[in-house]
């Protein structure tokens, strides 16, 4: 696993999974929310987002967490060697979002854009329960395409599966030699 794309539903655990995986593999993950949201919950431009993502993808190894289909989706799909689909049910996602809100209320969480204090409103609840779910067919298509291209594909449906998968991932060990002089 060198180039990993993590997709799924809001509140499903994408950010946590990316952070834990990144720690294990020695890769600083790119969290889409951290580049999409500017201070005060102002949306970044797609051009700026594309530039940041394109620059990050120049790395030999990367983890990109988040959906944002309008920002280099096809390029990410083409270049990734591993696709992780966090397919957690909507009720669990809502519980996770409420828990996250209570944990980070009044603060910006580490995977979010600076100056975007954690919030929970009806619009976001509707997104978690309904509107964000409309994208499921896109994720299923991504899984199918990745499988056809013989990429590693993981479909994880709950925290237990996520934890089991993370524990099975071998830590990254570089094969580079360091010459001492």
Bridge partners, 43 (sequence order): 37
The reported pLDDT for the residue numbered 20 is: 96
Binning pLDDT at 50, 70 and 90, where does residue 165 land?
very high
User: Domain coordinates of the chain in residue numbers?
Assistant: 3-168
Mean pLDDT throughout 106-134? 92
In degrees, rounded to 5, the angle at the alpha carbon of residue 74 between the alpha carbons of residues 71 and 78 is 130
Q: Give domain 3-168's CATH number out of 3.40.50.140, 3.40.50.720, 3.40.190.170, 3.40.50.300.
A: 3.40.50.300
Mean pLDDT throughout 107-121? 89
Query: Which one has a higher pLDDT value, 176 or 10?
Result: 10
pTM over 0.85: yes
- Compute the mean pLDDT over every residue in the chain, rounded to the nearest whole number: 93
Binning pLDDT at 50, 70 and 90, where does residue 178 land?
low
E strands, 9-132, where?
A: 30-31, 37-38, 42-43, 62-65, 82-86
Query: For residue 118, which of 106, 135, 130, 133 has the smallest C-alpha distance?
Result: 106
């Amino acid at each position: 696993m060198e180039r990993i794309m993590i997709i799924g539903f809001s509140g499903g655990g994408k950010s946590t999974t990316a952070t834990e995986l990144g720690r294990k593999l020695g890769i600083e993950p790119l969290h889409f929310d951290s580049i999409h949201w500017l201070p005060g919950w102002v949306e970044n431009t797609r051009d700026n987002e594309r530039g940041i993502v394109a620059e990050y993808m120049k790395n030999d190894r990367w983890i990109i967490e988040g959906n944002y289909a309008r920002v280099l989706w096809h390029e990410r799909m083409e270049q990734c060697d591993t696709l992780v689909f966090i397919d957690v049910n909507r009720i669990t996602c809502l519980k996770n979002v409420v828990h996250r809100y209570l944990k980070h209320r009044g603060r910006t969480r580490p995977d979010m854009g600076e100056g975007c204090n954690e919030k929970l409103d009806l619009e976001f609840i509707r997104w978690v329960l309904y509107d964000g779910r409309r994208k499921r067919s896109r994720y299923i298509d991504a899984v199918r395409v990745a499988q056809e291209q013989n990429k590693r594909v993981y479909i994880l449906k709950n925290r237990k599966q996520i934890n089991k998968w993370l524990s099975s991932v071998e830590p990254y060990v570089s094969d580079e030699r360091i010459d001492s002089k």
